[in-house]
Chains A and B, each alone.
Chain A
Amino acid sequence: MYKALAEAISDAEARGVTLSEVALDLESRDQGRSIDEIRGSLRRALDVMRGAVEAGMTGAMRSHSGLVGGDAAKLVHSKAGPLAATPFHDILIRALAVQEVNSAMGVIVAAPTAGGAGVLPAVLTGLAKARGIPDEHVIDALAAAGLIGAVIAERASLSGAEGGCQAETGAAAGMAAGAATEMLGGTPRQAGHATALAMQSTLGLICDPIGGLVELPCVFRNATGSAIALAAIEMALAGIEFAIPVDEVIDVMGQIGREMDVRYKETAGGGLAATPTGRHLAKERLYQLKRA
């Protein structure tokens, strides 16, 4: 796979094709599998993503500890907010839904990770529904998202334990922003700027889950990560460019992750996990888990 997004973008531009197409071509060569086979695997991923969205919207999923669950359903029924009845509102629901399913040990697609699994399905399936985009193009977008994620894995990290939440929901927002920009007709170059615009706003984001569980704030970080992705897509499609090249944004995310104190890397030693209420909830809920 590519080691720099700039390289993939210039390949796509030189050939006059999309990032999805260069991603599928290279994956096919690297892995010795046909493009049809790869698309088949991505189709299965899309089906699982939609299944998780549906399951989460019912509001029936509860995490083991009981800390999260049921909030996607609350948003489904709410008309109070400024985004009510917009695709944006629907995308927030979808992000909460998938992440609630994940916290309840339901089946999801780690994209790129389980902790950040809500953003990509929310943004892609939400926009596809709003714009009537056929599944074939959503599958293309998943390939482009995979390419962007592979570059992030190569240059920085996709692990909260290594890089904090910026490497999970931040990376997911960058992947979703780039992939959806292209899905909505943007150029490979605009997709690169969308990724940069999304990731610049999650730099430094710590991983501080209550009790170390992928529950709180993870569920909400997926919703807000989706919102960041949407803002980035909106700007990139308008032709707005981010002056720091996307590969440098990714590099600095990796560097911040390496320099980040271990308390902020999934260990529940700092951030929200270490607040008085965070500690109290962890103690209470983990005790319940042990008794269950």
Chain B
Amino acid sequence: MVSLLDIIGPVMVGPSSSHTAGACRLGLLARGLVGGTPQTALLELHGSFARTGEGHGTDKALVAGLLGFRPDDERIRTALEIADGEGLEYHFEKTTIGEESHPNTVRMTVARGPRRSVMIGSSIGAGRVLVTEIDGYPVDITGNFYSIVILAEDIKGSIARVTRILSDRDINIATLKLTRKQRGGDAFIVIECDDNPGEDVRDEIRALAWVRWAMRLDKVSGG
């Protein structure tokens, strides 16, 4: 749902809401998938991101997001230099992800310690973003909510167990989506929450025997 504050906002460092602010938000979401600043990042730019990204500071903004900077942080201007100091090794490539992909799309392969994740996301206008794929699973994450992302064995009652943890902590669920590549394969669960689930919630979910990994993504858009 479009919010007034998506339209009158974000407050951001210029020059382009889709190429700078949206790119920064996609970087923030990818950062969340590995739980902090990645050590390595391969950033594959598609469409307009590839063609005009450099002049718009898309490279700086994506890296700034990976470093945890928000779109209004003036350090975006020097993010590439800061990344060198923070031990983030980044690499940019131009690619074609798919004919049907939004013109401003990036595939980010990020790694931190043993965690590695591949995220495809688009900047869809006015700084709004949409993550469409994580580790090969189709998703639609807007960043308008705090999210919990879980990869788990596809066992009966898994959703009930996870939602119980959230309700015990008084966290309201906005959306919930489960996908899997095939029957009996792993289940990929995305839960968007109205309230901010803390790291303790994530850790409790991680402690479930059948959960392979669980990550918490920040709310990066909206008021």
Contacts and interface: CB of A to CB of B under 8 A. Distances in A.
Interface of A: 1, 23-24, 27, 30-33, 37-38, 41-42, 44-45, 48, 63-65, 101-115, 117, 120, 142-143, 145-147, 149-150, 153-154, 157-162, 167, 175, 209, 211-215, 262, 265-268, 286, 289
Given A109-B11, A110-B126, 10 more contacts: A23-B4, A27-B4, A102-B15, A105-B77, A114-B20, A114-B21, A159-B125, A161-B48, A161-B103, A212-B51
Nearest to A26: B4
B5 interface: yes
Interface in B10-51: 10-21, 47-48, 51
A159 B126 contact: yes
B11 A268 contact: no
Nearest to B12: A110
A113 B17 contact: yes
A270 B4 CA distance: 33
A154 B21 contact: no
A105 B76 contact: yes
Contacts, number: 179
A106 B12 CA distance: 8
B127 interface: yes
Nearest to B8: A146
A154 B15 contact: no
B223 A117 contact: no
Contacts of B135: none
Interface residues of B, number: 44
Contacts of B3: 1, 27, 30-31, 150
A167 B103 CA distance: 15
Contact of B1 (A30, A149, A215, A262): A30
17 contacts: A41-B5, A41-B9, A42-B5, A42-B8, A44-B11, A107-B12, A112-B8, A112-B126, A113-B126, A114-B20, A115-B15, A150-B6, A159-B125, A213-B52, A215-B15, A267-B52, A286-B55
Given A150-B4, A153-B125, A212-B51, A107 B15 contact: no
Contact of B7 (A104, A112, A167, A267): A112
Interface string B116-128: 0000000011111
Contacts of B6: 150, 153
Interface of B: 1-21, 47-48, 51-52, 54-57, 72, 74, 76-77, 102-104, 124-128, 194, 222-223
Contacts of A110: 9-10, 12, 17, 21, 126-127
B137 to A, nearest CB: 26
Closest 5 A/B residue pairs (Cβ): A212-B52, A159-B125, A146-B4, A102-B14, A149-B7
B18 to A, nearest CB: 6
A157 B17 CA distance: 13
A66 to B, nearest CB: 12
Contacts of B57: 105
Contacts of B7: 111-112, 145-146, 149-150, 153, 158, 175
B126 A289 contact: no
B5 A214 contact: no
A45 B9 CA distance: 7
Contacts of B19: 214
The residue among A42, A142, A158, A159 with the most chain B CB atoms within 10 A of its own CB is A159
